[in-house]
Amino acid sequence: MDKFSVGKHISGKFNEELDLIRNKALTMGGLVEKQLSDALKAIENSDTELANRVLENDYKINQMELEIDEACTRIIAKRQPTASDLRLVLAIIKTISDLERIGDEAERIAHVAKASFSKDQEHLLVSLENLGQQVLSMLRQVLDAFARMDQESALLVHQQDANADRQYEALTRQLMTYMMEDSRSIPKIMDVMWSARSLERIGDRCQNISEYIIYFVQGKDVRHTSQESMENTVRGRTQS
């Protein structure tokens, strides 16, 4: 099931370099996951200090993106990888770009966590929790799939996004109802709305990462294809 083949390469030094960028991408993923998890906790507990920490830490993610991207470019120039080695490097370049943007969304959520909500507005934040936990779980799963280059798990994450989208839409409708009922709360509700949107976008980015994993394993670009066609690709079935 796990077709991940790094480690079988002829040149030991080249292997080491590939392992290094892969591990760095995973470290970056761990940091992004922590940022999202902290941003959600900060919302849940109205924890301004934690929200500030998320805002302060974003530069680390940006730095990692630049560093890994440069290392990937160096490997391409120096090692001239082909086939699955090249696919691995390209999958990493794309993954870290999505991870960096997930970091940006976590930063946006942390900003909202810093805004003060009155007692009777706090229920708004609670409504974000379900969606937040679901998207955080998708991020964890896709990073885990990336670590093992496990396309089956990647496919599962991809399929979960439809559920996250449904939750997001229900939440949006609910928030609009609140706005209509209490117009003075509109600016606060808009903050929550933006956070919900950020979460929805993170779900999309987890889907992107799933697609890069399948691309690496199968050598086939499954972006912009149907769920069915993607499933066929992963399961190795011929497509009509």
Residues that bind a second copy (CB under 8 A): 59, 62-63, 65-66, 69-70, 73, 76-77, 80-83, 86-87, 90, 93-94, 97, 172, 176, 179-180, 183-184, 186-187, 190, 193, 197, 221, 223-224
Burial of 65 (0-12, 13-18, 19+ CB in 10 A): buried
Residue 22 or 101 having the CB closest to a second copy: 101
Residue 1 or 180 having the CB closest to a second copy: 180
Question: Residue 102: which of 50, 25, 35, 53 has the closest Cα?
Answer: 35
* Residue 207 CB, nearest approach to a second copy (Å): 13
52 and 133 in contact (C-beta within 8 Å)? no
Residue 94 or 148 having the CB closest to a second copy: 94
* Residue 45 CB, nearest approach to a second copy (Å): 27
Angle, in degrees to the nearest 10, between helices 186-218 and 151-181: 170
Measured CA to CA, the distance from residue 123 to residue 113 in angstroms comes to 13
Tokens representing 53 are 């920490």
Buried b (16+ CB within 10 A) or exposed e, 95-125: bbebbbbbbbbbbbbbbbbbbebeeebeebb
Tokens representing 188 are 């606060």
Residue 63 or 227 having the CB closest to a second copy: 63
* Residue 96 CB, nearest approach to a second copy (Å): 11
Residue 104 or 144 having the CB closest to a second copy: 104
* Residue 237 CB, nearest approach to a second copy (Å): 20
Residue 51 or 175 having the CB closest to a second copy: 175
Q: CA end-to-end span of the chain, whole Å?
A: 24
Residue 81 Rama label (left phi>0; alpha psi -120 to 50; beta): beta
Residue 26 or 186 having the CB closest to a second copy: 186
